[in-house]
Amino acid sequence: MQDKGIVYLVGAGPGDVDLITVKGLELIKKADVIVYDYLSNKRLLDHVKKGARIIYVGKKGGDHTLPQDDINRLIVDRAAMGYIVVRLKGGDPFVFGRGGEEAEEIVNAGLMCEVVPGVTSAAAVPAYAGIPLTHRDYTSSVSFITGHERFEKDKSSIDWEHFGRIRGTLVFLMGIKNLEHIASMLMQHGRSNDTPVALIRWGTTPRQQTLVSTLENVAYDAKQQGFKPPAIFIVGDVVNLRNHLSWFENRPLFWEKYCCYPCKRTGKRALENT
């Protein structure tokens, strides 16, 4: 233990354990304390050193293990005690991960903070579903948007008029619960009812599921198929390329080969990301 610790905000990637960065994995191996999220692949914890403290602070469908303020205090307190703390966050810490807020708290406490970017699900998940976010024949722009906004607010922070007008690809993160509202707002502001869309659940993991629909029908289709979080929502003509480019879900023996893995701690085989 050092006189003064340090916090590393590490992006765990989108779910596929192999998509962690080299630097991120090395920090996991040297950390004294690991504070990890619901969407961080648990297989990464197989690499922690003996004696390291592992703390789960996941948030799932409104069920928060710890409120964000308590998570901030936990990280700061452990680092203030001299520990090397890895805050392991799904995707990238600074892409809708509240990593900016955590970094502010750490710096304000007079502690050292480093950010290790991760592969964001906003880009990786469509790729694993065979959907390129940009394509010369379809669109040259892409927008990442939160789908988790509290829509009861008097004024939305999302410029629906802009996103309804532009023809670029839209990627909504954490938008399943607000899917009907999102689709409605886009159609009200100019997006065609028959715009191709895709929902991708548990992207980049062996549990990946993809639903292709249209802007008008997606909310109904998702409800009929019982589509639940975690999932991202893609809007745009590039979705049509999936029929030709889908690769991950088309692998031979997809479920048997990729859905289970041997746990280093127990030796048993278990579902990934359960």
Query: What is the per-residue pLDDT for 253?
Result: 60
Q: Which of 1-10, 123-132, 136-145, 190-199 has the lowest mean pLDDT?
A: 1-10
Query: What is the per-residue pLDDT for 59?
Result: 75
Active site residues: 37, 59, 174
Give all strands (DSSP E) within the chain, no chain letters.
6-11, 33-36, 53-56, 59-60, 63-64, 84-89, 112-116, 142-146, 169-173, 196-201, 209-214, 231-235, 260-262, 269-271
**pLDDT value at 33 more than 90:** yes
Query: What is the per-residue pLDDT for 163?
Result: 97
Q: pLDDT-based confidence at 221, cuts 50/70/90? A: very high
Domains of the chain: 6-119 (3.40.1010.10), 122-245 (3.30.950.10)
Burial of 155 (0-12, 13-18, 19+ CB in 10 A): exposed
pTM above 0.85, yes or no: yes
Residue range 87-137, pLDDT digits in tens: 999 999 999 989 999 999 999 999 999 999 999 999 999 999 999 999 999
Q: Which of 164-173, 239-248, 260-269 has the lowest mean pLDDT?
A: 260-269
**Residues 48-84 as b or e (16 or more Cβ within 10 Å = b):** beeebeebebebeeeeeebeeeebbebbbebbbeebb
Radius of gyration of the chain (CA): 20
Q: Which of 5-19, 132-146, 150-164 has the lowest mean pLDDT?
A: 150-164
| Best mean pLDDT range from 38-42, 73-77, 173-177 | 73-77
